[in-house]
Amino acid sequence: MVYDLYVITDEKIGNGRSHTELARQAVAGGADVIQLRDKNLSGRDLLDTAVAIRDITQDTGALFIVNDRLDVALAAGADGVHLGESDLPIRYARRLAPPGFIIGASVSSVATAVRAWEEGADYVALSPTFATGSKDDAGPGHGLSTLAAVRAAVPLPLIAIGGINAGNVAEVIAAGADGVAVISAVVGEDDVTAAARDLRDRIATAKARV
């Protein structure tokens, strides 16, 4: 699986654009993964949105992940679900998921990353890697030293999330991340497609140097 550029849709940060518009524009710019994240939609509205994004990603080969809701992810035919440390535990999600279904885990330390790996996560995301204004309860950033420590401890794809942008993405990759998950650096830009393309190019350049 390629997780290089992982774009999280957020209508509050998206300047009036819908989840589906944001997904379409990000995929056009080469996003490898789209995550639907909305804490306010009803289950039914979230499902409708997920089905629409599923159609968009299916046409392009991008992965589609639903945040928080394993039920919605399964019902929509998404590729996977992303679970935080307060969500359904990874080992329980694994029991419900069909073979090949991706379960991603937000982690905050080496210890929680190792636990997610042992419970059957397919990737871990260090959350937040840097401070962010996009998630109210994100807390302070864990920084590149923790990112590198998780890299050394866990043999899963490692994604950095929180406060990542064109200015710091190269050092995030150099510290050991396989990919970066972003909201504002893509979804908050006027030209979502161009922002995605630019970040993806920077990731590719940084990986060529690692």
Nearest CA-CA partner of 14 in 37, 33, 32, 31: 37
By the rule CB under 6 A, 196 interacts with ligand TZP: no
Determine the 3-state secondary structure of 65 from DSSP. strand
Which listed residue (52, 84, 143, 168) binds Mg ion by CB under 5 A? 84
- 35, interface contact from Mg ion, ligand TZP, none, CB < 5-8 Å by kind: none
By the rule CB under 5 A, 68 interacts with Mg ion: yes
| Total binding residues toward ligand TZP, as defined by CB under 6 A | 15
> Pattern 5-34, binding to ligand TZP, x per CB under 6 A?
---x--------------------------
Contact 144, 172 (CB under 8 A): yes
- 192, interface contact from ligand TZP, Mg ion, none, CB < 5-8 Å by kind: none
132: left (phi over 0), alpha (psi -120 to 50) or beta: beta
Choices 35-43, 48-56, 66-74, 162-170; region in contact with Mg ion by CB under 5 A: 66-74
Nearest CA-CA partner of 74 in 41, 101, 105: 101
By the rule CB under 5 A, 120 interacts with Mg ion: no
Contact 42, 28 (CB under 8 A): no
Determine the 3-state secondary structure of 11 from DSSP. coil
Nearest CA-CA partner of 159 in 33, 21, 30: 33
Q: What is the contact surface with ligand TZP in residues (CB under 6 A)?
A: 8, 127-128, 132, 134-135, 138, 161-164, 182-185
